[in-house]
């Protein structure tokens, strides 16, 4: 029970007003103890890991099962893609053991005879495979030297066109061949450059000798490279145009004030701004240096002959599926993948040495 002779405690504001010599409050103004403002009425603030850490509370880790259940709809959307990669990309990797077997599809992997490294030894002494490797490297080198820079040059040309209508029209025209299948592309080129094609018909009208292009093995590497450029150059400009649009326009304006011409602006502004994406795509291209287009080569091999049009992909197809030598074909595919992996890792390391970002 409170002592009546003891005065009640006063807060600071009340003590200041009741102190001796304090001024009287203004007339009509309410006097009395000053109370603290009450908390706003509403929902309590949500606790998060950040607020708990700031308030010194122990952060409780949510179990993995609960986190998966909380984001179950997102995982459900990812499920079809996950199943696709597992079924068609990872499970078939188990079939690579056929490279160490005299594999027979009638016996299966479990009952086929194990031959060790014999199939890999045969790779380096098989003359047909060596010719296929040489043709593959030749075609890949031509495509890297000529087909890879072609979209870059076209992207630079499109950005220099001032008329948006003309630019959109050119883009639509050069994009279309990408959506045409190789069967139609090869047929079109045969109709244009064949013995009875449009080009030889025009040459014949002026009395000049016909050009033996389709069917001449010497023309095959150049013809394949030109077909790749014609089909993919427009589609390849998309990513380079996006890289050019990402370059700040202030750089071009400053260069124009310094009287830099178009070529200097391309060399000192545009190309350095595209350098990272060029290096990235070049590294990825090196990973597929031993793959030069299976369908395109297969369709033209009967015309040019196996000696000129045999690549690693067609060798694996004819020797493995048609010839039944599954072990050698699988070993060749493994060596091809190993070389591609080494090239990607080496190119990525080299890009970082020279100050680039690389892929990973």
CB 174 within 8 A of CB 237: yes
Residues with Cβ < 8 Å from 22, sequence gap 6 or more? 16
Give me the pLDDT at residue 323, please: 86
User: Six-digit token pair at 243?
Assistant: 């890289």
pLDDT tens digits, one per residue of 167-176: 899 989 999 9
In 3-state terms the chain splits into helix, strand, coil percentages (rounded to 5) of 70, 0, 30
User: Residue 180 to residues 174, 220, 228, 230, 318: CA-CA distances in angstroms?
Assistant: 12, 21, 12, 11, 26
Q: Shortest CA distance to 222 belongs to which of 200, 193, 259, 184?
A: 193
Measured from the Cβ of residue 223, the count of other Cβ atoms closer than 10 Å reads: 18
pLDDT tens digits, one per residue of 220-276: 999 999 999 999 999 999 999 999 989 998 998 898 888 888 889 999 999 999 988
pLDDT tens digits, one per residue of 89-144: 899 888 899 999 998 888 888 888 999 899 999 888 888 888 998 999 999 999 99
User: Residue 278 to residues 11, 196, 201, 274: CA-CA distances in angstroms?
Assistant: 73, 41, 41, 6
Q: Which domains does the chain have, with CATH numbers?
A: 117-353 (1.10.3720.10)
CB 285 within 8 A of CB 294: no
Q: Shortest CA distance to 319 belongs to which of 165, 126, 96?
A: 126
pLDDT tens digits, one per residue of 34-76: 454 555 555 565 656 555 555 655 556 778 888 889 999 999 9
- Tell me how far apart the alpha carbons of residues 244 and 278 are, in angstroms, rounded to a whole number: 11
Q: How confident is the model at residue 80 (pLDDT cuts 50, 70, 90)?
A: very high
% of the chain with per-residue pLDDT over 90: 31
């Amino acid at each position: 029970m409170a002592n009546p002779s003891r005065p009640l405690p006063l807060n600071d504001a009340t003590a200041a007003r009741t102190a001796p010599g304090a001024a009287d409050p203004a007339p009509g103004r309410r006097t009395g103890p000053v109370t603290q403002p009450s908390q706003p009425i509403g929902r309590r603030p949500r606790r998060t890991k950040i607020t708990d850490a700031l308030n010194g509370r122990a952060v409780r880790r949510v179990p993995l099962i609960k986190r998966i259940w909380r984001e179950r709809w997102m995982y459900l959307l990812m499920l079809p893609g996950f199943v696709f990669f597992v079924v068609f990309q990872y499970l078939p990797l188990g079939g690579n053991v056929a490279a160490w077997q005299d594999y027979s599809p009638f016996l299966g992997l479990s009952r086929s005879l194990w031959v060790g490294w014999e199939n890999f030894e045969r790779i380096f002494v098989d003359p047909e495979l060596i010719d296929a490797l040489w043709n593959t490297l030749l075609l890949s080198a031509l495509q890297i030297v000529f087909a890879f820079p072609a979209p870059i040059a076209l992207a630079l040309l499109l950005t220099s066109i001032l008329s948006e209508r003309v630019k959109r029209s050119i883009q639509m025209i050069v994009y279309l061949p990408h959506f045409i299948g190789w069967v139609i592309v090869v047929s079109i080129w045969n109709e244009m450059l064949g013995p009875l094609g449009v080009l030889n018909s025009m040459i014949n009208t002026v009395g000049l000798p016909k050009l033996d292009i389709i069917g001449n093995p010497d023309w095959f590497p150049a013809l394949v490279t030109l077909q790749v450029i014609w089909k993919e150059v427009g589609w390849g400009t998309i990513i380079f145009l996006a890289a050019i649009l990402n370059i700040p326009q202030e750089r071009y304006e400053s260069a124009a004030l310094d009287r830099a011409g178009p070529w200097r602006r391309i060399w000192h502004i545009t190309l350095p701004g595209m350098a990272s994406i060029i290096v990235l795509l070049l590294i990825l291209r090196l990973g597929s240096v031993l793959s030069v287009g299976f369908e395109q080569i297969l369709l033209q091999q009967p015309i040019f002959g196996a000696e000129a049009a045999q690549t690693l992909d067609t060798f694996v197809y004819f020797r493995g599926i048609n010839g039944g030598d599954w072990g050698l074909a699988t070993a060749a595919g493994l060596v091809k993948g190993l070389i591609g992996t080494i090239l990607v890792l080496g190119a990525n390391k080299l890009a970082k040495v020279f100050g680039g970002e690389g892929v990973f």
